[in-house]
Amino acid sequence: MSDDNLQGALHNDIKDLIRLETRCLNAADLETWSSLFTEDGYYWMPLERTQTDPEQHDSLIYDNRALMTMRRYNLHNPLSPSMQREVRSVRILSEPDIDLSAAPGGDIIVRADVIAVIHHRKQDTFAGAVTWRLVRTDAGLKIKSKRVDLLNADAPLDSIMMYI
Amino acid sequence: MRALQALVEPARVHRDVYTREDIFKLELERIWGQAWVYVGHESQVKAPGDYLTTHIGLTPVIMVRDMNGKDINVLVNRCGHRGAQVCQARSGHANGLFKCPYHGWTFHTDGSLRSQPSPGGYQDVGFDRNAAAFGMTPVARTEQYRGFVFSSLAATGPELTVFLGQMCATIDNMVDRAPTGEVEVTGKTCHRFRHPVNWKFFTENLHDAMHPMVAHAGTSDAVRQYLEQLPPAHEPLPEAEVIAPFGGSYHFFDEMGFVGLPRGHGYMGGKTSIFSHYQVYPDYLQAMEQAYGRERTEEILSFNRHNGLIYPSCTIRDNIQSVRVVIPVSVNETIIESWTFRLKGAPPAMLQRTLRYSRLINSPASMVGPDDLDCYIRIQQSAAASAIEWIDMQRHFGRETRDGERQQAIGTSDLALRNQYTAWLEYMT
């Protein structure tokens, strides 16, 4: 294949991965969802857009794979009062911007805006900017990190029952 | 309608305390308008002109470092002219003055009026430019205890240290846990968790030791399931250290005990707490022993209170350096703000544990706080609608012991609820 074709195939793979990630969250399938991440991958929802280091400041969510698995076990577990109601959600992403040269080591940076609606006790709308860092592995593309900057991360928020 | 005195009995409380608008208004006046209310920490306003905005009850206030660099003033966030709120940002820097964006009046950082545009209009009309009412009025009283700033909207009442009483020791312990004897707030913002319920459900849950093993069973079950799938010789899991104690047994919480103090204050633990089995990091221990010596370090680290409540406005976990602030919005809306603190001179692992705790327990996206909140909402809804009027608080009633102003009970007693309502009645009637 020519370079252009290779690049086109990679772009398609990236978009497929992002679409699959969104579909998993919409379906509340956290098992498949977390398997899209690398073993050391993480999901980060900061409190401030200017934050650069989740280890130095509070975050709304900063989950490693262990926590992703715990949340999967907790989801819809009737032992948790808040989980006795079904959590339904849907996300709409903008066309992703793909940057193949932004990160060192060949990592791929993808950005998109998201609008997510979560229904639990009531219906809440979230919006924000998403940044994925993807890596090429023997098992194909994986998510090394996903960062979600909510528009209103610093506002009083109701319970957030699902990853955005 | 029932009189206030008829709403609280020794071992039960009437649902109206959570639902009646007129009672909420009286609480603002008689509790939030009288008590010392936590405003912020001095590390949030380090430089002259630095400010932080918050609320005392419904009153918007600004905590600002005076241009003299020394004082911390707490001003009503209101222009002395037409009453517009002057600052909208959560925090910021007033470069020597505050300026109202409506008509341009400006104020010094002590709240006094600095200037008005076209001042001729106020000449010979009886206008007193030195009157406090035309400034950004300072709240009646502001005091600090070891860097923690409290204000009272009431001109008279006990001094702060008298009000805090034995809760001073909780603040002392949090500060003493820093090798340099100083703590500082970690960020410009904090977790802000909207609770669509009356504020008292939050304070009442703090020492309700009958709920964790039930309401948080799903979360501790999730941790257990995760641990079971790990190989037998796995590394200790820092997340399990935080979450697992929330699934502790009735015995575990009974042993911890509860201490009720005057004015509604109280805490769980003392000798043991939810933090008892936290790992002690060797480099932290070393830094502490270098600063304080072995004996004093042991004394500081064995002080083991949980959820120190400074009624009604804040609860401190000195062990994990977290302060949660209660901000009532309406009879059925409250904002709980969680601030995390850094122990100066401690290794980074200590801050990371503080942040981990805050994310896992205090965040609106945690797997603990939303379960508590879900239960409050269930009570709030039934209190507003059900035909049944009374809410029970008689567990281990009459079995508490009294030692001076301290009341003590086993951890799963409802003494904490009864103690808060004793204070509530004292404030309200």
Query: Do the Cβ atoms of B262 and B405 come closer than 8 Å?
Result: yes
- The answer to whether residue B349 neighbours chain A at the CB level (below 8 Å) is no
State chain B's mean pLDDT as an integer. Answer: 95
Say if A34 falls within a structural domain: yes
Give the pLDDT band of residue A6 (cuts 50, 70, 90): confident
Give residue B407's pLDDT: 97
List C-alpha distances in Å: B366 to A61, A161, B1, B323, B377. Answer: 8, 8, 40, 16, 17
Give the pLDDT band of residue A97 (cuts 50, 70, 90): very high
Low-confidence winner among A3-7, A155-159, B300-304 (lowest mean pLDDT): A3-7
Give residue B108's pLDDT: 97
- Please report the beta strands in B250-289, taking only residues with DSSP state E, as ranges in sequence order: 258-260, 266-270
pLDDT at A5 over 90: no
CA–CA gap between residue B358 and residue B338 (Å, rounded): 8
B293-331 residue pLDDT tens = 999 999 999 998 999 999 999 999 999 999 999 999 999
B180-196 residue pLDDT tens = 999 999 988 899 999 99
Q: How many CA atoms lie within 13 A of B20 on its CB side?
A: 14
Give residue B270's pLDDT: 83
Residue in A79, A80, A155 nearest the CB of B192: A155
Give residue B275's pLDDT: 83
B205-242 residue pLDDT tens = 999 999 999 999 999 999 999 999 998 888 888 998 89
Would you call B187 and A47 a contact, using CB atoms and an 8 Å cutoff?
yes
Residue B393 CB-density burial (10 A; 0-12 exposed, 13-18 middle, 19+ buried): buried
Say if A157 falls within a structural domain: no
CA–CA gap between residue B220 and residue B243 (Å, rounded): 6
Q: Which of B33, B420, B379, B381 is nearest to B258 (CA)?
A: B420
Say if A121 falls within a structural domain: yes
Q: How many CA atoms lie within 13 A of B160 on its CB side?
A: 20
CA–CA gap between residue A34 and residue A43 (Å, rounded): 10
Residues 94-133 of A with CB under 8 A from B: 121
DSSP B138: B
Nearest CA-CA distance, residue A99 and chain B, Å: 30
Q: Count how many domains chain A has.
A: 1
CA–CA gap between residue B66 and residue B94 (Å, rounded): 10
- The CATH number of the structural domain formed by B164-428 is 3.90.380.10
Say if A106 falls within a structural domain: yes
CA–CA gap between residue B266 and residue B156 (Å, rounded): 24
Low-confidence winner among A99-113, A145-159, B74-88 (lowest mean pLDDT): A99-113
Residue with tokens 């003493």: B176
B50-83 residue pLDDT tens = 999 999 999 999 999 999 999 999 999 999 999 9
Nearest CA-CA distance, residue B114 and chain A, Å: 32
CA–CA gap between residue A9 and residue B325 (Å, rounded): 52
pLDDT at A1 over 70: no
Q: Which of A85, A80, A79 is nearest to A28 (CA)?
A: A85
Return the number of CB contacts < 8 Å for A and B.
Answer: 123
Say if A161 falls within a structural domain: no
Copy the structure tokens of residue B9.
Answer: 């009995």
Q: What is the amino acid identity at position B426?
A: E
Give residue B140's pLDDT: 98
A38 vs B384: which has the higher pLDDT: A38
Q: Which of B383, B377, B385 is nearest to B195 (CA)?
A: B377
Percent of chain B whose pLDDT exceeds 90: 89
Residue in A59, A73, A154 nearest the CB of B359: A59
The H or E element spanning position B141 is: strand B141-145
Give pLDDT < 50 ranges for chain B. none
**Residue A110, domain CATH:** 3.10.450.50
Query: Do the Cβ atoms of B291 and B179 come closer than 8 Å?
Result: yes
Say if A158 falls within a structural domain: no
Q: Which CATH class is domain B37-152?
A: mainly beta
Q: What domain range includes position A59?
A: 3-150
pLDDT at A3 over 80: no
In sequence order, what DSSP letters do the residues of B162-184 get, joined into one string?
HHHGGGHHHHHHHHHTSTTS-EE
Say if A72 falls within a structural domain: yes
Cis preceding linkage at B10, omega within 30: no
Give residue B244's pLDDT: 86
**Which chain B residues have a beta carbon less than 8 Å from that of A48?**
187-189
